[in-house]
Amino acid sequence: MANIETRSTCCYCGVGCGVLIESDGARITGVRGDPEHPANFGRLCGKGLSLAASAASDSGRALYPEMRLTREAARARVAWDDALDSVADGFARIIRRHGPDAVAFYVSGQLLTEDYYLFNKLAKGVVGTNNIDTNSRLCMSSAVTAYKQAFGADGPPTCYDDLEAAHCLLFAGSNMAYAHPVLFRRLEAARDARPDCRWIVIDPRCTDTAAMADLHLQIQPGTDVALFHGMLHHLIWEGLVNADYVAAHTEGFAELKRLVRDYPPKMAAEICGIRESDLVTAAEWFGRSPASLSLYSMGLNQSSHGTDKNLALINLHLATGQLGRPGAGPFSLTGQPNAMGGREVGGMATMLAAHRDIGNAEHRLDVARHWGVPVSRLSDQAGLPAVAMFEALRQGRVKAIWIACSNPAHSLPNLPLVREALACAELVVVQDAFAHTDTTAFADILLPAAGWGEKEGTVTNSERRISRVRAAVPPPGEARRDGWIVGEVARRLETLLYPGAASLFSHTDPDRVFDEHRALTVGRDLDIGGLDYALLDRTGPQQWPLPVGAATGLARRYTDGRFATANGRARFHAPSYLPPAENVSAHYPFRLLTGRLRDQWHGMSRTGRLPQLFAHSPEPALQMHPEDAERRGLAAGDLLRVSSKRGQLVLPLALSDEVMRGTLFAAMHWNGQFLNSGGVNEASQPAVDGQSFQPELKHAAVKVAKL
């Protein structure tokens, strides 16, 4: 058969690399980097290069709808109509009996924007609940909250071209060499071209990224706010604050200045466990550089003080005027491929479509008018964010949950509680491309979804760039695209809840859903009124905003020093340093840190099927500093039980001076398929940031015992 080439986007991380899929129309036969995509210019990392291999096999795929009539019974194959009717009947029954907030939707930053939009419309416009949250809550919500508080709007002000334009790079809580490899290659090339570019890495671990730094600040876990305040103290003391910028474009500096008086570099360095001279050097490099760019991800975000960490970092940029020009600004790196697209459509418990607010009556009216529903249908109460949603399920306040494209029985903190919640729910619906995840084991109804390379839509990457995702082959078996499934259930549910009313789901074609979405953005900070599929096909990926009349999207925001706040000024914030939620103790003396491996993705449902992706890290391991191991009489390879107050897992010991004494590291990916126990979230703890509701997945107090 003919070799067909389809232009699309990688489904893994937030870099959003363009790919060219080769297929014979029935099977994907190859994938290579798209030389014309502005994120990667043809480069791909190991995960991207393996896309063809992971997409080519039907093994492990969910191929048919399945259902079980009792919890004790095994699921059996059923017809699509029966499965869809059962989902709608089950949800309608519970909504009638207990109200709309008795049901919940847990979706994913892996969904395409159009599918995300439809899920959000179903939850908020048909059911009338804001109980729709997503695994993006575990990823970016602290960055989002800080952007909104500091700049008045979500989204980074920066773009990928800033990687090459920066003279000083501050990596904060990001092992970019593993988590965003193609962007890291761009940085390496930029450094080759300009060797005087300075790299500062802030990380409790000596990661591959830290190993390449000019200055590695190996801080005690969770002390970032003290570090940033100490740096700002030095900048103020040395007259390195850009007073003109602060006066013209910001507010709140006086209060912050008062606070950071209490963080002299010596004291801040002591809190962080680093040398004062290193803290001062970092402040000098950052403040004196012609252009300083900070790059950050889960090390800041996955924290019970994640918003404060983000805000304290943004303070450094505002105080020095390091933003709004090439190579300067705070740049949060998105973990998932479409965490940003999900926020654009409002697919979270704490927001409405197009960055609107649930608590704003005008915003609710905008959305209700757009959907053609009475405004009373839209709840004015925030829904349950991820961790609270599963706690509510366990308590019986939520009785039915529909989980799409995510594996919360692996990825949420405190897994014993998550499993208990899923086991006691009245109805668990799971929509997934894969049949055997930790979560599908709990599904009463399994809806088989199309996977990557089999569906159409868009995603938005870390630099606000919207790229097309295209279908190269049909889905296997009876799998269907996510949007089709949502539409089919939505129409049934509408008939049951509002008999005779016109449907909000008269179409679910991706291009028409995108048009509906972009119309909702007009006049908002992310306005893409001028962007449609035809323009994307003609000109390639585009950044938002791109309003009607614009030829291309906007590369950098706030270049004129005018921000999205009511008075146009950016806001400084003055959070005090607070330690992680769970401190170590005599019983639980180690800090367990978590993170990524280079070649694996999340719960390994895709990457775990490919032997070549195990070459870099073949086995699960718990990293411990050699001196800690020696003091406890432990040797490499010993099997250790790692326990927290919540649960335990078993891992073989690996000695490593990448971790500091008193800390341990385990990768987030390994699950029950590879361990006798569940993954690292057996032990992680569910404390959340009080503003963003993002859990502190990166830090738990644990003890170890040799088996």
The binding site for ligand SF4 (CB under 6 A) comprises: 10, 12-13, 15-17, 40, 44-45, 47-48, 180-182
Which lies closer to ligand SF4 via its Cβ, residue 183 or residue 217? 183
Closest CB 399 distance from ligand SF4, rounded Å: 37
Chain-centre distance for alpha carbon 290: 31
45 or 150: CB nearest ligand SF4? 45
Q: Report how far apart, in Å, the C-alpha atoms of 431 and of each of 4, 402, 428, 605, 668 are.
A: 29, 8, 10, 14, 23
**DSSP states of 317-329 as a string?**
HHHHT--SBTTBE
- β-strands 215-217, 198-202: how paired? parallel
Which residues does 335 contact at the CB level (< 8 Å), separation at least 6? 13, 14, 109, 139, 140, 179, 297, 298
Instruction: Report d(CA 265, CA 272) in Å as an integer.
Output: 10
Give least dist CB 182 to ligand SF4, A.
4
Q: Which residue is nearest to ligand SF4 (CB)?
A: 48
Helix, strand and coil in the chain, % to nearest 5: 35, 20, 45
Nearer to ligand SF4, 15 or 166 (CB): 15
Cis geometry, peptide bond prior to residue 545 (ω within 30 degrees of 0) = yes
CB 475 to ligand SF4: min, Å: 21
Judged by CB, which is closer to ligand SF4: 459, or 701? 459
List residues bridging with 330 in a β-sheet.
294
- Residue 405 CB, nearest distance to ligand SF4 (Å)? 17
CB of 650 closer than 8 Å to CB of 675 = yes
Least gap, CB of 597 to ligand SF4 (angstroms): 12
Torsion sign over Cα 604, 606, 611, 617: negative
Q: Is 169 or 353 the residue whose CB approaches ligand SF4 more closely?
A: 169
Instruction: Pick between residue 177 and residue 526 the one whose CB is nearest to ligand SF4.
Output: 177
Whichever of 111 and 584 has its CB closer to ligand SF4, that residue is 111
Contact 267, 230 (CB under 8 A): yes
DSSP code for 4:
E
In the complex, least distance from residue 183 CB atom to ligand SF4, rounded to whole angstroms: 7
Residue with smaller CB distance to ligand SF4, 11 or 700:
11
CB of 9 to ligand SF4, least distance (A): 8
Of 335 and 487, which CB lies nearer to ligand SF4 in the complex structure? 335
Closest to ligand SF4 by CB, 135 or 508: 135
Question: CB of residue 19 vs ligand SF4: minimum separation in angstroms?
Answer: 7
Burial call 661-686: b when 16+ CB within 10 Å, e when fewer = ebbbbbbbbbbbeebebbbbbbbbbb
- 3-class state of residue 703 by DSSP: strand
Minimal distance in Å, beta carbon 52 to ligand SF4?
A: 12
DSSP letters for 160-206: THHHHH-SEEEEES--HHHHSHHHHHHHHHHHHH-TT-EEEEE-SS-
Q: Are strands 292-296 and 168-172 parallel, antiparallel or unpaired?
A: parallel
CA dist 701 and 696 (Å) reads: 12
| Contact of 590 with 570, CB cutoff 8 Å | no
Indicate the residue among 14 and 324 with the shorter CB distance to ligand SF4: 14
Q: How many CB atoms within 10 Å of residue 128?
A: 18
Please state the closest distance from residue 454 (CB atom) to ligand SF4, in A. 17
User: Residue with structure tokens 């550089």?
Assistant: 289
Q: Cα separation of 681 and 564, whole Å?
A: 38
**Which of residues 337 and 575 has its CB atom nearest to ligand SF4 in the complex?**
337
**What's the start-to-end Cα distance of the chain, in Å?**
56
| Token reading at 111 | 């969904």
Structure tokens at 12: 């893994």
**Nearer residue to ligand SF4 within complex by CB, 181 or 510:** 181
CA distance 222 to 584: 13
Least distance between ligand SF4 and beta carbon 525 (Å): 25
- The span from the CA of 299 to the CA of 663, in Å, is 15
Least distance CB 335 / ligand SF4 (angstroms): 10
Tell the smallest beta-carbon distance from residue 180 to ligand SF4 (Å). Answer: 6
Please, are residues 672 and 601 in contact by the beta-carbon 8 Å criterion? no
